[in-house]
Structure 1
Amino acid sequence: MNFKHLLLLIFLIVCNILISQDENVFLDRDYWKKNPSIETIEKDIKENNDITELNKYGFDPITWAILEKVSNETIQYLISKDGNDVNKITHDKRTYIFWAAYKDNLELMKFLIEKDAKMDLIDEHGYSLINFAATTGQTNLKIYEICLKEGANLNEQINNDGANPLLLLAPYIKDLKTLEFFTERGLDIIEVDNNGNNLFTYAAKGGNYFLMNHALAKKLDPNVNNGMAMIFASRGTRKYKNDINVYKYLDSVGVSFNGKTKSNQGLLHFEAKRQKDTALINYLISKDLDLNHEDDNGNSPITNSIKYNSAEMVEFLINKSKIENYIDKNGNTLFHHAVERNDTDIFNLISKTKNNINHKNKDGNTVLHLAAMKAKNNQLLKYLIELGAKKNILTPFGESAYDLAKENELLSKQNLNFLK
């Protein structure tokens, strides 16, 4: 075998190793949806699939198995494998007992506790086990009973914002039994978080009429922080977003529409990101909310829609906005804000406004400069030029779009001659 053949062989071996790593079947969530048997898993282990590997987001096979409700017998078997442990740190610094609580898997929680699962851990977002269960809407009180039996103190369960389990569970509490479970164990309905947000505010997050009405009956102020309940309602929960009726209810009990977050974000900042109901947006605008109000980072409801919402909603909001030549506090036009979206439909909509495609922001960059630095392919750059972007404009450092594109690893190997 000559030297060239040896190098080729080594290259192929390395490629095969990398490919096999990328194709670890245990990291495919769909694999666990089929509730594979222990025999199937053993067969796949023998085919060099790693039962202990974490993906780039920190999810491992056992986490997926728990989330997909694989049989507990199989999960217990997986935990017994070398390299796995009941206290193994996974996504967001959570151990398996967090995921078991999240899936309301009491049997698995008890097994993990028997195997010395740590009960006092705090995850990456500042949630204890109890608070993680609460903020994700787990209303099975036996979950909390298990935690309390293991020594948890409800009064010591506080997240980074100073919210206790009762506040965090407020969007989901639908009966007095659940409420009284926490109040009988030391939590008071008048307690607030570090920012003064109360039980009514947190209940608004889930559009929880039962608990909002109960809070009002107990004389809690619905308008704390000048209408923060509106902001909480606009955020919704992971699985639920509020409709126009929730806002009308909040308005009827005296909640202001003018609440702002610490970074000066208003109600429309959140709704513009994902809301598809034009009637709701029209309703909020009728309450004198400004689509062009900028937060401390220069983002407005209009720019949030450009970054996250559908082209149809972007068009709707642009038409509703009173400013056609939009320039934020950082000198960015709507074109600048659209770069990371990499969506030609969005750019086409903006091109119909009076936004100048060759305007430089405060850093001295045009939209073509930003696209050259961030685009994943050359199609966006070509489209911007079609819309009138000038390729001969230089940055303050004397760089052209062509120079910047050459430094972009994703673009450097593509044809960039059109930028010269």
Structure 2
Amino acid sequence: MKTQTLRFFFFGIFALLTAFTSMAQRGSQNPFLDREYWAAHPDLNDIEAKVAEGHSLTEANGAGYDPTTFAIFGGNPVATINYLIEKGNDVNRRTHDSRTYIFWAASRGNLELVQYLVGKGARIDLKDSHGYSATQFTAASGQSNTKIYDFLIESGADLKNEKDHDGRDVLLVAAPRVKNLDLIDYFISKGLRLNTSDNHGNGLFNIAAQGGNIDVLKALVARGVTIDKNTNTNENAILFASRGGRGSSNSLAVFQYLEGLGLEPNITSNDGVTPLHNLSRSASDLAIFRYFIAKGVNPNSADKDGNTPLLNAVSRNKQEVISFLAEHTSDINQTNNEGHSALTLAIQTNSASVVAYLLEKGAQTNILDKKGNNLAYYLFETRGNPRDFDEKVAALRKAGFDFKKRQADNSTMWHLAISKNNLELLIKVQAFDADINAKDDQGNTVLHYAAMKSSDAEILKFLVANGADINATTEFGETAYDLAQENELLSENNVSLEFLK
């Protein structure tokens, strides 16, 4: 019974993946999911013409954005938004990160649209997946138009009691994005406190430091806001500043200013995080890295998850930063708690040039993660299709990596490739000479999985043409033909399965 349950679980997962893939493919053809379309402010006649062509006004893409959201992003008039809502988009529809339309409208300062949405029944009490209310998300986006906040308050927003997952009120949420204290003073006039803190004991100065605005920090000091370290977490403003903003980092001047206040640069949180851990994710100014190393911050220290600054950097940062940290690392093959080395993470998310560099520095190719998966697994364990696949494969081959070795669950390169449902990848995998009829621990071959997740016959026919055994059975005696008959997408597309008999 347990094995059968697992089989249905995997079948369900494949069905969902296929459905999402199909949705994404349809979305790429739907002009209403094209941000540029809405940026051009199409008139209602054009919109209706495309609806007549069969395009959906209610479809969402894989990230949860729908036509109404893109129309708001594009600054389209209220009449257009009204048309979209009247055509079946509920005013409180959850989109990306569980945000409703009023989140997007308010964050962009579109008071007219916010007023319209509230008039249509938009709820002010909803929260997104980060725990933000519409008011908080608006503040987190850097919106400084107080008329937006005035209207949200009039409509029921409760600034004193609205808190995100970390217990931060709107004043704290706004702090990293403000350009001066005007918005902070506005929130204080609405009853919030200057010396407030979140659930972890982080106060206004530390949180504001993440934004790196020295003028704001100076103004807070002048107001008497405490700059003390958070004794609950052992974090100070320098550690917060090292986080930077989304996709950005603060300048060396920010850290020097904070040090000048008497704050310690060589700081390690209770979770083992140092400034170098945070900076390594996105900062590119090597002078900042040199500054912290000169102050005694250890470039080899691991946080509670076992990640070093180098391990953080190889996941997403540039070659220059990775090379700098690699030169300061004591062990290029150090792994985190999941068994990921720098090479593992670079293969998964970074470029082929980073992979080649790490190999030149002595990165081992025989590394296994804690689940027993080797490096080949991480070629495919990516969002979307693998990056620099051919180049990474060539680099690993040159280093002597054996692509015929199976993963911990006995899956082969064929099994890994079918997870992407991409014929081009499968054609490339053919060159690895892996056994196309090998079964994994679930008792399935690549053809079985293809039968469960394909939406057409292309991949199935390719596998059969290259030796996949149509008579191979699962642990339950099912052939690829049997599984394909259960595949609703193949049925909906009227795919003939005779070649699988």
- Shift in alpha-carbon separation, 1:396–1:87, aligned structure 2, 3 A: closer
- Shift in alpha-carbon separation, 1:17–1:395, aligned structure 2, 3 A: closer
Answer yes or no: is 1:66 the counterpart of 2:80: no
CA contact (8 A) 2:93 2:101 kept: yes
SS of residue in 2 equivalent to 1:216: helix
How far residue 222 of structure 1 moved from its aligned partner, in angstroms, is: 1.6
CA contact (8 A) 2:266 2:295 kept: no
How do 1:82-161 residues align onto structure 2 when only pairs under 5 Å count? 83-161=88-166
For residue 397 of structure 2, the aligned residue among 371, 385, 390 is 385
Pick which of 146-155 and 56-65 moved more.
Answer: 146-155
Letter in 2 for 1:50: S
For residue 315 of structure 2, the aligned residue among 288, 303, 307 is 307
CA contact (8 A) 2:27 2:61 kept: no
1:54-90 Cα distance to aligned partner (Å, 9 max, x none): 1111111110011111222322222222x11221221
How do 1:264-343 residues align onto structure 2 when only pairs under 5 Å count? 264-341=272-349, 343=351
Answer yes or no: is 1:223 the counterpart of 2:228: yes
Letter in 2 for 1:93: S
CA contact (8 A) 1:223 1:256 kept: no
Answer yes or no: is 1:167 the counterpart of 2:179: no
CA contact (8 A) 2:107 2:139 kept: no
For residue 353 of structure 1, the aligned residue among 361, 372, 383 is 361
Gap regions ≥5 residues in structure 1: 1-15
SS of residue in 1 equivalent to 2:104: helix
- Shift in alpha-carbon separation, 1:416–1:283, aligned structure 2, 3 A: same
Pick which of 177-186 and 266-275 moved more.
Answer: 177-186
How far residue 172 of structure 1 moved from its aligned partner, in angstroms, is: 3.1
CA contact (8 A) 1:227 1:257 kept: no
- TM-score, normalising length: structure 1: 0.86
**Separation in 2 of the partners of 1:313 and 1:335?**
15
**Separation in 1 of the partners of 2:236 and 2:151?**
33
**Separation in 2 of the partners of 1:22 and 1:331?**
37
Answer yes or no: is 1:249 the counterpart of 2:257: yes
1:132-172 Cα distance to aligned partner (Å, 9 max, x none): 11111111111111111112222111111011111111123
Pick which of 325-334 and 32-41 moved more.
Answer: 325-334
CA contact (8 A) 1:272 1:305 kept: yes
**Separation in 1 of the partners of 2:324 and 2:181?**
43
1:358-414 Cα distance to aligned partner (Å, 9 max, x none): 2444444443454477684565334302122245666666x4xxx521211145453
1:291-322 Cα distance to aligned partner (Å, 9 max, x none): 22222222211011111012222122212334
1:92-146 Cα distance to aligned partner (Å, 9 max, x none): 1111111110110001111111112111111111001111111111111111111
Aligned counterpart, 2:13: none
**Separation in 2 of the partners of 1:216 and 1:321?**
37
- Shift in alpha-carbon separation, 1:31–1:389, aligned structure 2, 3 A: same
- Shift in alpha-carbon separation, 1:188–1:20, aligned structure 2, 3 A: closer
CA contact (8 A) 1:200 1:211 kept: no
How far residue 346 of structure 1 moved from its aligned partner, in angstroms, is: 1.1
Answer yes or no: is 1:27 the counterpart of 2:49: no
CA contact (8 A) 1:372 1:405 kept: no
Aligned counterpart, 1:185: 190
Letter in 2 for 1:253: L
**Separation in 2 of the partners of 1:372 and 1:52?**
32
How far residue 276 of structure 1 moved from its aligned partner, in angstroms, is: 1.4
Answer yes or no: is 1:414 the counterpart of 2:428: yes
- Shift in alpha-carbon separation, 1:357–1:78, aligned structure 2, 3 A: same
- Shift in alpha-carbon separation, 1:176–1:230, aligned structure 2, 3 A: closer
1:181-232 Cα distance to aligned partner (Å, 9 max, x none): 2112211111111111111012111112233223323333323223432232
How far residue 327 of structure 1 moved from its aligned partner, in angstroms, is: 4.2
Aligned residue pairs: how many? 400
Letter in 1 for 2:303: D
Pick which of 116-125 and 216-225 moved more.
Answer: 216-225
